[in-house]
Amino acid sequence: MKQAGFLEKFGSVYEHSSWVAEAVFELSADMASADTDTSTVVASFESVFMAASRDQQLATLRAHPELACAVDQRDQLTLDSAAEQSDAGLDLCSEAEFAEFTRLNTAYSEKFGFPFIIAVKGRTRLKILNIFRMRLQNDAVLEFQTALFQVCRIAQFRIEAILNG
């Protein structure tokens, strides 16, 4: 696979951060092979992202949307984020749930400097709210590491969907 095809296929697995796919392609010529297994591809992406500078990682964290964003902001979500949030029912929040997500999003962003990030696949909005409340209590170092891990989980799910259809 040529670089353009690789980037078209994998460029968006890290939210608005095609630099990850570009680096994976440059470092791993074998990634272009059709017989590369999913776990190898996931590991290559994670390795590049986790080895990046803190500034690059932070920019990727900040590229993520807030959860359960207002209706008038949903057009700002990538197709992947919109589908993932919808699958978790975040587009069906009650007024009270939406108000809590809004309050938590604001508090989290003010405390940590980036939006709350969680791989929502397989989780309900009530479970997500509970995790959100707990993680807001973390210190900055733990939460930065947790957010990086969650970004990698999101990318893993996206890569698996691309490769395993």
Model pLDDT for residues 71-89, shown as the tens digit of each residue: 445 566 778 887 888 887 8
Is position 16 annotated as part of the catalytic site?
A: no
6 phi and psi, to 5 degrees? -60, -45
Could you tell me the fold of the domain covering 61-164? UraD-like (1.10.3330)
Domain ranges (residues) in the chain: 3-58, 61-164
85-97 residues labelled b (16+ CB within 10 A) or e (exposed): beebbbeebeeeb
- pLDDT of 69 strictly over 70: no
**Residue 145 · residue 89 · CB < 8 Å:** no
**Residue 26 · residue 20 · CB < 8 Å:** no
Q: Which class for 41: exposed (0-12), middle (13-18), buried (19 or more C-beta within 10 A)? A: buried
- pLDDT of 30 strictly over 70: no
Which member of 64, 125, 135, 158 is catalytic?
64
